[in-house]
Structure 1
Amino acid sequence: MISLEHFDFDLLNNSDYENISSTINLTNNIISSDKNELNWPILTLSIFVLTGTLGNLLVCISITLDKQLQTVTNWFLFSLAIADCLVSLIVLPLSIIKDFHGSWKLPIIFCNLFVFFDVLLCTTSIWHLTILSIDRFLHISRPFRSRERSKCKTFLAILFIWTFSIAISCIIFILGCIDDKNILIIVNDHRRHCALNNRSFIIYGSIICFCIPCILMLVTYSLTIRRLQLEAAKCYTDPDDLLMIKQTSDRLRRHQLATKRCPSSPSYKRNSSKDMSSASPTTPCSPKLSCSLTSPDTDNIQSPFQQV
């Protein structure tokens, strides 16, 4: 009986020891995870902040100052450069700070603004690229109609893209003001991550901002490539076009040889005049060459005084 009691006591002591040791290991893991180590290599991404800001500013300045660059496509590129410049100035620095500390150390209002601008500028950039793909397809399929498009329609399309992106971004901004858990992932009291944490917004926002533009760009670029392949096939399969191109190149080659050489023999001049007369009327001719072909050879004509 005494031996059984000793056995039970030893068994309880062993189980208590195991529980205490597991508790100590768990607390040690929590303490070690609470120690936010600084991520120094992430600071190298600040190079992208400088280069992205400078490059997009140069694009905006060049389009603004040069009137020849103020076309329909370039105005879309101008708006896209503004969005990318704001990404380099606002989103990238806050993201570097977040990853440098390992958790979000700034006030919650900055987290809300960070998520707002992240969604806004990414949505704007993606939809600008989508509109550019559609615009390139229209330029190839309907070149004359696309040239007649006014700047007013272009500015309205750009305004619609920004308004649409702001409307989507305001939803997550309002949700973040209502509940911090929509924009914060709280691991414990010492570790918080600033990111989207609303499942419904993640699903529907991904469909509107990523899936639909991706499908549109794939379709439009596929149609653009197909249209270019058909046009190239027409140029190479039409025998009349090939013959005309060959004849034109031969005539231009003979004309270039004639301009380089200026012989004094009348037979060469007669042959060159025949080649020039057989060429198309649209072929440019040198005025000196035409004068030499039409004017008589005065060097070979002797005056009557010289004959005497």
Structure 2
Amino acid sequence: MIGLPSKQIVNGAAGRAQARTVGAGDWLWTLHEGRTALTVVTEVTTVKAREIVAVVSDRQPFLAAPDQLLGTSSGWVRAAEAAGSELTWTPARKLCRTRLAIRPGHDFGYWVGATCADGTVGPNYVSLVVNDEGFAGRYAASLTASTGLAARLEPVTRPSGFLQRDLPGFRVRVVSSYLADVMRQYVGGDAHHMRQGFPRVVLRDLDSFNGFLDGYADGDGYRIKRWQARAIASANVPFLAELAVVIGARFTPVTSGKVSHLVVSDRWERRGTFVPETHPVHLIESQATTVREVRPRTATGAKPFTLHRYRLEPHPSFLVSGHVVRAAG
């Protein structure tokens, strides 16, 4: 027997809803291949039961029938047997946000590289504050071209510790939790400049990678006058070491803990070291949460639990407090 008790919250397209209020024609959220998707209710049935379980995960507890199937990365598990399992989950509060159709290419690589070099990734925004108006303008243009988000320059002042006075600068700030989350995904989860990983998503094609080099060099690089090359700087040694392998360059980090430099020749492509890789440009929204315990509940009075069961199309699953559960077969 499967189903959800009447007051259990499910994640609908119109917002949170109790299981008893969901009817045919309503749209529910689900996860499909790691991304959020909508599925429509085609039929609702109810059944009486005296036994249900409370599934207590790291994220949020929820109630379900003992035989209700819950989604994991390796398949389905009965709710009554879910203790210790890692369920597939996504933050319910982020379900209604705007999702971006990110286009790879030079513009894509440019804003990723510039963000890695000089940007800030906040909880729900990405920003760049620099002195060079041209750099800020190129960053804003590449963001808009690649993501469709409106990005504009704002004049600001920046304190200078060396000159002991404020200097004029320019800021580009785009508020989008999706953009912030996908940027964290690109660099391995932590977008701090000293801890970020090399964003291998820019290796999907040569155009994207060259855009990355241009964006990073505009932020933390400079032209070398003695020969045709640029040098890029970072104190994040693993980041530069991984990049050096891609361009086939020798890299000797500074051992004193200060900033290291990597020379990027204008003719690096002739070395034949670039190998395209396939990585998702879109945000993988599915996460894992561990079930700490499963508590049985029994209807002790005369009134049993009413369990609500749905049939759905085109996806046979839906979200309960962000957790993936299987609909009726």
| Structure-2-length-normalised TM-score | 0.19
Higher CA-based Rg = 1
More strand by share: 2
More helix by share: 1
| Structure-1-length-normalised TM-score | 0.20
